[in-house]
């Protein structure tokens, strides 16, 4: 309550100024009613009755060029505090005033649209901002807001349309956003079974942003579904060139494609090159598996001993324990192996570079800040 009262002090001050200014501009008219209303509002404010104070001050301030900004500021304060119903009521009452000129009406309409956005009434907000698109002063804000609405409504084609429109306004390219929007359209087409359309949209995504990892992953999954492992692997092998941080995330897909194509030598060479440049424990673990499979246990043990000697890390120790300690070395060795094996593993996780949001799964659109393509894997 006290915070609301503090918030209303500027409004009370503005009301006092307004009453005084009307008195001095028109001395022939008695300002007793206005003075009474102003002091009534102050009394409510001092007695911590902000709702009643609001009604008094809003009714006291006639809507004209001098007071419209005060009304709008009050509505913004309500919205920022999460009191959206009050903000909506205030702006709806303002729009109902016949004395509003067209410019003032559009300003209030924009604020009402933001109220509806905050309240989650996207259909109402959409209608308002579609109307505001025709206003030269409001068209950029309307376009940005409609872009946000269409993303929330998962109207991806409309979102693409408004992204292009926004780029034409501010001359600023948005390749990451556009590529992910095309990926969303592609995924929708793929769910309908229209792989031709899906592939077409994925090609557009990569043309706009050649570094879009997601487009290659979706394309690979489509090829895997069609048992076309050669094309799937071709797509997946582009990921190291795009962003090497994502290689551990989709490493199992790559290895499964090598296995389906019966290419053990190529798999070994790929993992050998990868582990030389990538310090992920997941990569080392899969390389150790291939070493055991193709070269034998001795080579795998020697590899992990060298890693531990150069970098004595807990994760490397666990990998070594799984291959380097045998049961015939005695009870203490078996106990040590069991303890190391049961050490808690650090799971693969992701962090948004924009807002810091953490998750255990990849989010192409950050749930925290709603930015696209900003979530990256944390190296394990």
Q: What is the DSSP string of 196-258?
A: HHHHHHHHHHHHH-TT-HHHHHHHHHHHHHTT-HHHHHHHHTTHHHH-GGGTGGGHHHHHHHH
Q: Which residues pair with 349 in a beta bridge?
A: 378
d(CA 138, CA 140) in angstroms, rounded, equals 6
Q: What is the pLDDT of residue 180?
A: 98
pTM, to two decimals: 0.77
Instruction: Give the CA diameter of the chain.
Output: 109
Where are the strands (E) in 120-179, listed by range?
Answer: none
Q: Which residues pair with 365 in a beta bridge?
A: 372
Q: What is the pLDDT of residue 346?
A: 62
Q: What is the pLDDT of residue 166?
A: 94
Under DSSP, the state recorded for 313 is: -
Q: Which helix (H) or strand (E) holds 75?
A: helix 68-80
Question: Which stretches of the chain drop beneath a pLDDT of 70?
Answer: 1-68, 324-347, 379-380
Q: In the sheet that 375-378 helps form, which strands lie side by side, from edge to edge?
A: 358-359, 349-352, 375-378
Give burial (CB, 10 Å; 0-12/13-18/19+) of 240.
middle
Among 182, 176, 148, smallest CA distance to 162 is for 148
Under DSSP, the state recorded for 365 is: B
Helix ranges (H only) for 243-366 are: 251-260, 264-277, 281-294, 297-310, 314-324, 331-341
């Amino acid at each position: 309550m006290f915070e609301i009262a503090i918030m209303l002090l500027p409004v009370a001050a503005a009301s006092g100024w307004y009453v005084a200014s009307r008195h001095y501009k028109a001395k022939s008219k008695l300002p007793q009613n206005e003075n009474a209303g102003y002091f009534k509002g102050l009394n409510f404010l001092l007695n911590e009755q902000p709702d009643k104070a609001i009604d008094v001050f809003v009714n006291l301030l006639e809507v004209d060029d001098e007071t419209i900004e005060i009304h709008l500021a009050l509505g913004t304060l309500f919205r920022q505090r999460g009191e959206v119903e009050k903000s909506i009521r205030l702006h709806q009452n303002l729009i109902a005033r016949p004395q509003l000129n067209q410019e003032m009406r559009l300003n209030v309409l924009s604020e009402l649209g933001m109220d509806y956005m905050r309240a989650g009434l996207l259909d109402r907000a959409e209608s308002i901002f579609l109307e505001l698109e025709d206003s030269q002063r409001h068209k950029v804000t309307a376009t940005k807001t409609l872009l946000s609405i269409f993303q929330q409504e998962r109207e991806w084609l409309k979102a693409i349309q408004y992204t292009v429109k926004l780029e034409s306004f501010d001359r600023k390219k948005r390749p990451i956003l556009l590529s992910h929007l095309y990926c969303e359209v592609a995924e929708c087409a793929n769910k309908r079974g229209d792989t031709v359309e899906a592939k077409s949209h994925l090609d557009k995504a990569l043309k706009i942003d050649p570094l879009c990892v997601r487009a290659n992953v979706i394309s690979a999954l489509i090829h895997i579904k069609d048992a076309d492992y050669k094309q799937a692997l071709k797509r997946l092998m582009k990921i190291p060139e795009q962003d090497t941080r994502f290689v551990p995330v989709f490493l199992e897909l790559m290895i499964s494609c090598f296995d389906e194509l019966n290419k053990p030598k190529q798999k070994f060479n790929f993992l050998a090159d990868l582990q030389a440049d990538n310090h992920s424990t997941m990569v080392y673990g899969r390389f150790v598996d291939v070493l055991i499979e193709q070269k034998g246990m001795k080579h795998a043990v020697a590899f992990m001993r060298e890693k531990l000697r150069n970098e004595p890390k807990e994760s490397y120790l666990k990998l070594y324990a799984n291959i380097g300690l045998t049961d015939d070395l005695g009870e203490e060795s078996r106990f040590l192996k069991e303890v190391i094996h049961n050490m808690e593993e650090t799971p693969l996780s992701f962090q948004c570079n924009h807002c810091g949001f953490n998750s255990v799964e990849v989010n192409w659109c950050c749930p925290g800040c709603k930015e696209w393509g900003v979530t990256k894997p944390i190296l394990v």
